[in-house]
Amino acid sequence: MEITVNVEPIDLTAEIGGTRWDSHAEEEVPRTLGDEVVRKIVVDLRDSTEHSTLRKQVAELRVEEIHAQLAPIVTEAIQQGVRKTNGWGEPVGEPTTLRALIIDEVEKLLRKPADNYNRDKGTWIEALVKDNVNKVIRAELSEALAAEKAKVVEAVRAKASELIAAAVKEGIGR
């Protein structure tokens, strides 16, 4: 007696029974061996302790790749220079360096009024300096006042103890 087994070729597209929802086609489609392999890999990865490490590594690789792709683009843009634009994004004037643009923006910020409603407060930088000077002076004065207060309290206590001692002596001596 001879037994013959015929096995048809199988690949990841072979249907294995059942259906699954295909979000791209927005319909139920037959479940394939490939679907089951992917499901099993996802479950194993999700349940493994290495999942968070793998996820972190993928995120780090993504960031590294983005930096690698952006570096030459940014370098080229800086070397070519940039043009200032008006409020509508239209180029104005000749191309300039990024350094010059940054310096220009810093100068604008330093000359900007501290308060759009009341110009009496000076420029932004003047207000910043004034606020910081006030903070330093207040801290110094608070410290000095606390030290002087401690001296006064100690002097009052000493004088009070002298007066109490004198009163006690006078009372006992009578």
pTM exceeds cut of 0.85: no
Check residue 118 and give its pLDDT.
67
Domain ranges of the chain: 20-77, 83-111, 115-174
**Contact predicate 19/31, CB 8 Å:** yes
Angle CA 146–149–152, to nearest 5: 155
Given this model, what pLDDT does residue 81 score? 78
What's the pLDDT score for residue 67? Answer: 94
Residue 18: strand, helix, or coil: strand
Q: For residues 112 and 121, give the distance between their C-alpha atoms in angstroms, rounded to a whole number.
A: 11
Quote the CA–CA distance of 109 and 123 in Å, as a whole number.
Answer: 9
Determine what percent of the chain falls in helix, strand and coil, rounding each to the nearest 5: 65, 15, 20
> CA 34 → CA 26, 38, 166, distances in Å?
19, 6, 102
- pLDDT tens string, the chain, 174 residues long: the values are 899 888 888 888 888 889 888 888 889 999 998 999 999 988 887 777 677 787 788 899 999 999 999 999 888 877 777 788 888 989 888 888 878 888 888 888 888 887 777 667 788 888 888 899 999 999 999 999 999 999 999 999 988 888 888 888 887 865
